[in-house]
Amino acid sequence: MPLPPADESTPSPAPDRPDAAQAAIARAMEREVAVQSGYELARNALRARARRQALTPLARELFSSPGRLDAYASGSRPALAWGVPVSLRGHLVAVISPTASAITPQIRTVLGPTVIVVASWDEQERIRRVTESRQRFVQLSVRVDEPTHEEIVDFSRRHPTPTGDL
C-alpha cells in the first residue's frame, strides 16, 4: 500500500533560518555577553579611579619643590587619556595613570615630554606600547583594593555603556 502524500499545508522549516527557540537562546547569549562586558568595563573603570586616587598624593610629593607641597593635581581629563595632570608653577610635569586604550596620536604627543606615573610594571608596559619610544615613567608602589561586586554593579548602573548595563 502506498504512503499517503505529505501534507503540503505545513511548510518545512528552511535550513538556513533558526527556529524560535534557537533565536531566543542566541538573544539570551548576546544579553549575557553584553552584561559581562558592561561589568568588566565598570570594574576596570573603578580600578583605574582607585589607582589614580592612591597615586595622586605620592606624585604630588614627588614633583613638589623640596620641603614644600606645591605640586598641584587636578581631576582626570579625556585630553590626557583620563590621566590626572600634575602641575608645578603652571607647567605640566607628570600625568598619573592615563588609560592606554585612550591614547591617540595627539595625546601621545602631549604625553611625550612629561613623566607618566604608574602603579605597576604591567600598567607601564600597557602604556609604553602606545606612547613614544622615549617616554619616561615613574613607578610608585601603592595598594589598591579590588572593587566589590556591589560597587561594580552600582557604577555600571550609574554609567551605562553602549554594550549593555547590569
Single-letter code of the amino acid located at 90: G
pLDDT, one tens digit per residue, over 5-62 is 655 555 555 555 668 888 888 888 888 887 788 888 888 889 999 999 999 999 999 9
Select the more confidently predicted residue: 96 or 12.
96
Any residues with CB less than 8 A from the CB of 79 and at least 6 apart, and which? 107, 110
C-alpha cell at 6: 505529505
Percent of residues, the chain, with pLDDT higher than 90: 54
Select the more confidently predicted residue: 33 or 64.
64
CB 56 within 8 A of CB 71: no
Question: Model-level pTM?
Answer: 0.73
> How would DSSP label each residue in the chain?
-PPPPP-TTSPPPPTTS--HHHHHHHHHHHHHHHHHHHHHHHHHHHHHHHHHHHHHHHHHHHHSPTT----EE---BGGGTTBEEEEETTEEEEEE---GGG--HHHHHHHTTSEEEESSHHHHHHHHTTS-TT-EEEE-----PPPPHHHHHHHHHHS-BTTB--
